[in-house]
Amino acid sequence: MFKAILLEKGEQGPIPQLVELNDSDLPEGDVLVEVDYSTLNYKDALAITGKAPVVRKYPIVPGIDIAGTVLESQHANWKAGDAVILNGWGVGESYWGGMAQKASLKGDWLIRRPDALSSKQAMAIGTAGYTAMLCVMALEDNGITPESGEILVTGANGGVGSVSIALLAKRGYTVIASTGRPEEAEYLKSLGAKDTVNRSEFSEPGKPLAKERWAAAIDCVGSHTLANVCASIKYGGVVAACGLAQGMDLPATVAPFILRGVTLRGVDSVYVPLERRQLAWDRLATDLEPEVLESVAKVVGLSEVIPMAEDMMAGKIRGRMIVDVNN
């Protein structure tokens, strides 16, 4: 028997429960993993609360992140004892995820955990940190350097925003953090932000073109915020867009793109090819200071996940939530 969070389909939405399951309950997979830690991400909170139709198939174990050790493998790349990480691939949405003590998975989804990271540290990073690194890599791919100018990070108090600030600052970039919580300014500066701006500057309908302010931006918010960020990017600048906390819409014009040569670069974390995925994780193992991981992460047990998902949807959570599946 092993413990898990299980979502059953109810008439009014998902019914989340902390349950005990048998190995025979697990879905088919060619690698059996003993899970050490998972995480509670925004997408997990959506799945657990039913605030958005994230789950494609019931019943399901949520948890889009997994760090653990291979117990059994019929996959050529993996053997018992291998330390592995999984992010994305529809896990926690269409396939059973990480909020359980065991997971049956496809070996093609797994990557090797860098030796420099423990399972706990890997989940302090999780999909949010991994997405942040993909965003930083997207800016670099488009020629943005520390000398280019100030980099704006929206949704700065969230997991992606927090780690983005730390990664950019470590590499010498000047980071400005956008937040709706002014009381968190010192926390954001401790991560490496030079200064903060209030998110209200970007959250309402704005002009097609605004004053050129930022060399680049990482946007976790979408909607009017993303439109206003694009409108205020300097000539030739880049916006890496990875989130939709404010909304999926983009009420913008083509003006920033055809008059200032701005690049809007979409960043997906779910189906990234394994080579780029492994590169991102290898860089995270060297580019993030251990004390930064401690400052942005909190460990909770499985029994705390369900109420905490409601808190996350209410905007009460800061940074990363690590789920200790054995507690």
pLDDT in tens, 30-50: 999 999 999 998 899 999 999
Residue 159: alpha-carbon gap to chain centroid: 6
140 and 256 share one domain: yes
pLDDT in tens, 145-189: 999 999 999 999 888 998 999 999 999 999 999 998 889 899 999
CATH of the domain at 134: 3.40.50.720
Query: Higher pLDDT residue, 187 or 257?
Result: 257
The three-state secondary structure class of 151 is: strand
142 and 173 share one domain: yes
Domain that holds residue 144: 127-266
16 in a structural domain: yes
Could you tell me which of 78, 82, 67 has the C-alpha nearest to residue 107? 78
Phi-psi region of 150 (alpha: psi -120 to 50; beta: other; left: phi over 0): beta
246 and 217 share one domain: yes
262 and 137 share one domain: yes
> pLDDT value at position 7?
97
206 and 97 share one domain: no
Cα dihedral value 201, 206, 209, 215, nearest 10: 30
49 and 137 share one domain: no
> pLDDT value at position 290?
73
- With pLDDT > 90 as the criterion, what percentage of the chain qualifies? 86
Omega cis (within 30) before 59? yes
253 and 310 share one domain: no
Neighbouring C-alpha atoms within 13 Å toward the C-beta of 232: 20
Gap between the Cα atoms of 326 and 35, Å rounded:
9
Gap between the Cα atoms of 180 and 194, Å rounded:
17
pLDDT in tens, 88-97: 999 999 999 9
> pLDDT value at position 69?
98
182 in a structural domain: yes
Radius of gyration of the chain (CA): 20
Number of domains the chain contains: 2
> pLDDT value at position 13?
87
pLDDT tier, 291 (very low <50, low <70, confident <90, very high otherwise): confident
235 and 301 share one domain: no
> pLDDT value at position 320?
79
pLDDT tier, 213 (very low <50, low <70, confident <90, very high otherwise): very high
Instruction: Give every CB contact of residue 109 below 8 A, 6+ residues apart in sequence.
Output: 86, 88, 89, 91
299 in a structural domain: yes
pLDDT tier, 294 (very low <50, low <70, confident <90, very high otherwise): confident
24 in a structural domain: yes
156 and 244 share one domain: yes
Q: 289 near 266, Cβ under 8 Å?
A: no
Tokens of 133: 């690194």
168 in a structural domain: yes
Tokens of 70: 């291979």
138 and 72 share one domain: no
132 and 224 share one domain: yes
277 in a structural domain: no
Q: 16 near 48, Cβ under 8 Å?
A: yes
274 in a structural domain: no
CATH of the domain at 319: 3.90.180.10
Q: 219 near 230, Cβ under 8 Å?
A: no
Phi-psi region of 319 (alpha: psi -120 to 50; beta: other; left: phi over 0): left
Instruction: Give every CB contact of residue 87 below 8 A, 6+ residues apart in sequence.
Output: 64, 65, 66, 126, 127, 130, 269, 270, 277
122 in a structural domain: no
**Amino acid in the structure at residue 181:** R
92 and 143 share one domain: no
